[in-house]
Amino acid sequence: MTTDALKQEIVYDDKIVRAFIVASVAFAIVAMSVGVLIAIQLVFWQANFGTSWTAFGRLRPLHTNAAIFAFVGNMMFAGIYYSTQRLIKARMGSDGLSWLHFWTWQIAILGAAVSLPLGLTQAKEYAELIWPIDIVIAVSWVAFSVNFFWALAKRNEKNLYVSLWFYIATIVTIPVLFIVNNLQLPTSFLHSYPIYAGVQDALVQWWYGHNAVGFFLTTPILGIMYYFIPKACGRPVYSYRLSVVHFWALIFLYIWAGPHHLLFTALPDWTQSTGMLFSLILLAPSWGGMLNGLLTLRGAWDKLKTDPVLKFFVVAITFYGMSTFEGPLLSIKSVNSLAHYTDWIIGHVHGGTLGWNGFMAAGMFYWLVPRLFGTKLWSTQLADAHFWTGTFGILLYVVAMWISGINQGLYWRALDAEGFLLYPDFVEWLISARFLYLMRMIGGTVYLLGFFAMAFNLVMTARAGKPVTSADRVVIRTGFEGPSTWELIRGWPVVLSLLIVVATILFGIASPLTQGAVAGFLASLVIAAILAVGLGKENWHRLLEGRPLAFTILTVVAILIGGLAELIPSVIIRHEVPITPQAAEAKAAPTDSSAALIASGTTDAPGTSGTTDASGTSGTTAPPGMPAAPVKAATNAVVSAYAQQPYSPLELTGRDIYIREGCFNCHTQMIRPMRHETLRYGEYSRAEEFVYDHPFQWGSRRIGPDLHRVGGKYPSLWHYIHMRDPRATSPGSTMPTYRFLTDAVVDFDAISRKMEALRRLGVPYSESEIATAAQTARSQALLLATDLAEQEIEISTESELLAVIAYLQRLGRGPQPTALENAAAPEIGTAGGGAEAPETAEVN
Amino acid sequence: MAKHLKDEVFDHEYDGIQEYDNRMPNWWLWLLYGTIVYSFLYWGIVHTFEKGTLPIEAYRAEVAKAAEAQLARMEGMEISDESLVLVSQIPERVEAGSRIWTQNCVECHLADGSGSIGPNLTDRYWLHGGNPLNIYATIMNGVPEKGMVAWGETMSPTKIQDVTAFLISSIKGKQLPGKDPQGEPEEG
Secondary structure of chain A: what % helix, strand, coil (to 5)?
65, 5, 30
Identify the CA nearest to A277 among candidates B167, B170, B34, B60: B34
Q: What is the pLDDT, as a whole number, of residue B184?
A: 86
CB–CB contact A159 B12 (8 Å): yes
Rounded to 10 degrees, the C-alpha dihedral A679/A682/A684/A685 comes to: -150
Q: Residue A4's pLDDT is what? A: 65
> Quick check: bond before A715 cis, omega within 30?
no
Whole-number CA gyration radius for chain B? 30
From the list A281, A419, A620, the residue facing B70 with the nearest CB is: A419
Contacts of B111 in chain A (CB under 8 A): 628
Chain A residues with CB under 8 Å of B123 CB are 620
At A341 the three-state DSSP class reads strand
Write the DSSP symbol of residue B44: I
Contact A238 B176 (CB under 8 A): no
Q: In angstroms, what separates the C-alpha of A782 from chain B's closest C-alpha?
A: 24
Residue type, A615: S
φ, ψ at B12 (rounded to 5°): -145, 150
Residues of B in contact with A236 (CB under 8 A): 9, 17-20
| Beta-carbon separation of B185 and A839 below 8 A | yes
Burial label, A713 (beta-carbon count in 10 A; 0-12, 13-18, 19+): middle
Looking at chain A, the whole-number percentage of residues with pLDDT higher than 70 is 87
| Partner residue facing A628 (CB), from B32, B56, B112 | B112
CA A321/CA B158 separation, integer angstroms: 58
- The beta-carbon neighbor of A283 closest among B23, B35, B111 is B35
Q: Which residues of A202-237 are buried (b: 16+ CB within 10 A; e: fewer)?
A: bbbbbbbbbbbbbbbbbbbbbbbbbbbbbbbbebbb
* C-alpha closest to that of A349 among A662, A29, A734, A63: A63
Q: Note whether A512 contacts B175, CB cutoff 8 Å.
A: no
Tell me whether residue A131 is exposed, middle or buried, using C-beta atoms within 10 angstroms of its C-beta: 0 to 12, 13 to 18, 19 or more: middle
Residue in chain A nearest B4 by alpha carbon:
A239
**B43 contacts A277? CB cut-off 8 A:** yes
- Please check whether residues B47 and B65 belong to one and the same domain: no
Which member of B15, B24, B173 has the closest CB to residue A86? B15
All residues of chain A having their beta carbon less than 8 Å from the beta carbon of residue B44 are 507, 515, 519
Residues in chain B within 8 Å Cβ distance of A510: 48
CA distance B179 to chain A (A): 11
- Is the domain of B131 the same as that of B180? yes
Residues B178, B110, single domain; the answer is yes
Nearest CA in chain B to A160: B14
Cα distances (Å, whole numbers) of residue A204 to A86, A127, A194, A209: 37, 11, 11, 8
Question: A620 to chain B: which residues are within 8 Å by CB?
Answer: 123-124, 175-177, 181
Whether residues A236 and B18 touch (CB distance < 8 A) is answered with: yes
Identify which of B49, B54, B59 has the shortest CB distance to residue A674.
B59
As for how many domains chain B has, the answer is 2
Cross-chain CB nearest to B56 (options A162, A287, A673): A673
Q: What are the angstrom distances between the C-alpha of A397 and each of A346, A347, A661?
A: 10, 7, 26
Identify the sign of the CA torsion B76, B77, B83, B84: positive
Phi–psi pair at A11, nearest 5 degrees: -100, 125
Residues of A in contact with B167 (CB under 8 A): none
CA–CA min distance A88, chain B (Å)? 8
Question: Given an 8 Å threshold on Cβ–Cβ distance, is A595 in contact with B21?
Answer: no
Query: What pLDDT is stored for residue A607 in this prediction?
Result: 33
**What's the number of CA atoms in the CB half-sphere (13 Å) around residue A317?**
25
Q: What is the pLDDT of residue A789?
A: 94
Residues B47, A511: C-beta atoms closer than 8 Å? no
Q: Are A165 and A103 in contact (CB under 8 A)?
A: no
What is the structure's pLDDT at A643? 55
Alpha-carbon distance A229 to A39, whole Å?
33
Domain ranges of chain A: 1-158, 485-574, 577-636, 649-813
Cβ contact, residue pair B42, A273, below 8 Å? yes
pLDDT, residue A563, reads: 87
Note the pLDDT of residue A580. Answer: 33
C-beta atoms surrounding A312 within 10 Å: 27
A-chain CB neighbours of B181 within 8 Å are 620, 839, 843
Q: Which of B170, B174, B176, B186 to mutate to test the interface with A (most CBs of A within 10 A)?
A: B174
- Closest partner CB to B63 (pick from A87, A89, A675): A675
Distance in angstroms (rounded) separating the CA atoms of residues A343 and A57: 16
Contact list, A237 vs chain B (CB under 8 Å): 17-20
The amino acid present at A622, given as its one-letter code, is A
- The whole-angstrom separation of Cα B139 and Cα B126 is 13
List per-residue pLDDT tens for chain B, 188 residues long.
Answer: 455 567 888 888 999 999 998 999 999 999 999 999 999 999 999 999 999 889 999 999 999 999 888 888 877 888 889 899 999 999 999 999 999 998 888 888 889 998 888 899 998 899 998 899 999 999 999 988 888 888 888 788 888 999 999 999 989 888 888 888 888 887 65
pLDDT confidence of residue B96: 92
Co-location of B65 and B137 in the same domain: yes
Other C-beta atoms within 10 Å of A598: how many? 26
Cβ separation B16–A231 shorter than 8 A: yes
For residues B1 and B74, state if they share a domain.
no
- pLDDT tens-digit profile of A53-85? 999 999 999 999 999 999 999 999 999 999 999
Please, where are the H alpha helices in A661-725?
675-681, 716-724
Residues of A in contact with B16 (CB under 8 A): 231
Residue A812 pLDDT: 85
Q: What are phi and psi of B142, to 5 degrees?
A: 70, 175
**Could you tell me which residues are beta bridge partners of residue A745?**
A799
What does the alpha-carbon distance between residue A293 and residue A228 come to, in Å, rounded to a whole number? Answer: 10
Of A418, A510, A620, the CB nearest to B177: A620
Chain CA centroid to CA A251, Å = 17
Report the chain A residue with the minimal C-alpha distance to residue B122.
A620
Of A241, A288, A592, the CB nearest to B23: A241
- On whether both B74 and B106 belong to a single domain, the answer is yes
Same domain, B87 and B70: yes
CA pair distance A746, A646, nearest whole angstrom: 19
Q: What is the CATH number of the domain that holds B150?
A: 1.10.760.10
Integer Cα distance of B165 and B119 in angstroms: 18
* C-alpha of A549 from chain center: 30
CB contact under 8 A, A419 and B66: yes
CA–CA min distance A72, chain B (Å): 24
Q: Report the CATH architecture of A649-813.
A: Orthogonal Bundle (1.10)
Q: Which H or E run contains A545?
A: helix A540-545
Angle at A39 between CA A347 and CA A449, to 5 degrees: 90
Residue B2, number of CB atoms within 10 A of its CB: 9
Spell out which residues of chain B touch residue A245, defining contact as CB-CB under 8 Å.
24
Q: Which domain holds residue B101?
A: 55-185
Taking the C-alpha atoms of residue A633 and residue A650, their distance in angstroms, rounded to an integer, is 33
Indicate whether B125 and B80 sit together in one domain: yes
3-state secondary structure of A475: strand
A83 Cβ contact partners less than 8 Å away, ≥ 6 residues apart: A163, A223, A224, A227, A228, B15
Contacts of A672 in chain B (CB under 8 A): 55
Going by DSSP bridges, is the β-strand pair A184-186/B184-185 parallel, antiparallel, or unpaired?
Answer: unpaired
Q: Is A632–B170 a contact, with Cβ atoms under 8 angstroms apart? A: yes
> Helix, strand, coil % (nearest 5) of chain B?
50, 5, 40
Q: Which ranges of A573-715 does DSSP label H, i.e. alpha helix?
A: 581-588, 593-599, 628-636, 649-660, 675-681
User: Quick one: which of A337, A333, A266 has its CA closest to A669?
Assistant: A266
B55 vs A contacts (CB less than 8 Å): 263-264, 269, 272, 333, 672-673
CB A320 within 8 A of CB A340: no
CB contact under 8 A, B20 and A242: no
Cβ contacts from A onto B, under 8 A: 161
CB contact under 8 A, B17 and A285: no
Burial class (CB in 10 A: 0-12, 13-18, 19+), A334: exposed
Residues B8 and B70 in one domain: no
> How large is the ipTM?
0.86
Distances (CA, A) of A23 to A29, A78, A101, A426, A465: 10, 10, 13, 41, 19
Q: Which residues in chain A show pLDDT less than 50?
A: 1, 575-642, 816-844
Quote the radius of gyration of chain A (alpha carbons, Å). 29
Query: Distance (Å) from the C-alpha of residue A89 to the closest C-alpha of chain B?
Result: 8
* Residues of chain B contacting residue A241, judged by C-beta atoms under 8 Å apart: 21-24
- C-beta atoms of B63 and A238 within 8 A: no
B20 to chain A: which residues are within 8 Å by CB?
236-240
Q: Name the residue facing A161 among B17, B23, B172 (closest C-beta).
A: B17
Q: Give the chain A residue nearest B48 (alpha carbons).
A: A512
The DSSP code sequence of A150-191 is HHHHT-SSSSPPHHHHHHHHHHHHHHHHHHHHT-EEESSSS-
